[in-house]
Amino acid sequence: MTLPHTSQLPDTPCYLNGEFTALKDAKISVLDRGFIFGDGVYEVVPVYGGRLFRFAQHMARLSRSLAELRIANPLSHAQWHEIALKLIADYAQSTGTTPEMSDQLIYIQITRGVALRDHPMLPGLTPTVFVMTNAMKLPSAQQRSEGVACVTADDFRWEKAHIKSTSLLGAVFSRQISVDAGALETIMFRGEHLSEASSSNVWVVKNGKVMGPPKDHLVLEGIRYGLIEEMCRAAEIDFELRRLSREEVFDADELLLSSATKEVLPVTLLDGRAVGKGTPGPIYAQLHAAYQQAKRDLST
């Protein structure tokens, strides 16, 4: 595969350390701790019709991740919001559309900053702040109507999964397992209990109840954790967070993935075996419809 030269990178807008520039012109030091150690955190915020989706929840998780790394949040909520809105508008202009016609993903990354290579969490550094946006690619109509295939694997990643860290080599390895198998995602287990997928949360539906792993250090609490609970409550669907066994996952009536780009997506094939009836189920249909309504509510 031929990688693009710097001059071939998109001429789309981004923000780096206080300045707005084109993505192809943005540069950081080779001694940035994000580059050397993966010493940083990130967030990905969906944008529908030019409007940020659950921005406050994303900012809260960003602050939690930064606190775990002992990095002070370099910007206020209002400043993050202002940067995001400008990038949304600038991206729409650069692509010849309007913000109202544009579904995007805002990517935010903060690293500890630049220093000579040394492992300790060095104090007094100026964090590197990078924000970019690009078009959102949502699941296809076929994936929604037929569901997707996933494979399973042991969760070999570290035990601080609650931090949305830029150290993503574990996720790269786990996602490659599904790529090699021709599947969409890798659903992982710590021992005999469900953790999450390589870049998604996983939900088990049984007898009309939606269940997910508990919020702890073994799972990244996706922003859709709260949203799915809210949607279940509104639809009077039972909802529970607890340890879920491998057996329960394979015995599910429905399996669902959730993430910023997948929204809610049905899994109908797991390790070559049909999930439930092998087609997207009624709970998925309800949650997908509720999710689309939550998006529409952004413009009301």
Instruction: Report the catalytic residues.
Output: 164
92 HSE (CA, 13 A, CB side): 19
How far apart are alpha carbons 231 and 213 in whole angstroms? 17
Alpha carbon 53 to chain centroid, angstroms: 13
**In 26-51, which positions are buried (b, 16+ CB within 10 angstroms) versus exposed (e)?**
beeeeebbbbbeebbbbbbbbbbbbb
Q: Which of 250, 263, 256, 279 is nearest to 152 (CA)?
A: 250
Q: Which residues contact 161 (CB under 8 A, 6 or more apart)?
A: 195, 196, 217, 218, 219, 220
- Residue in this structure with the two tokens 């109908």, named with its chain if needed: 268
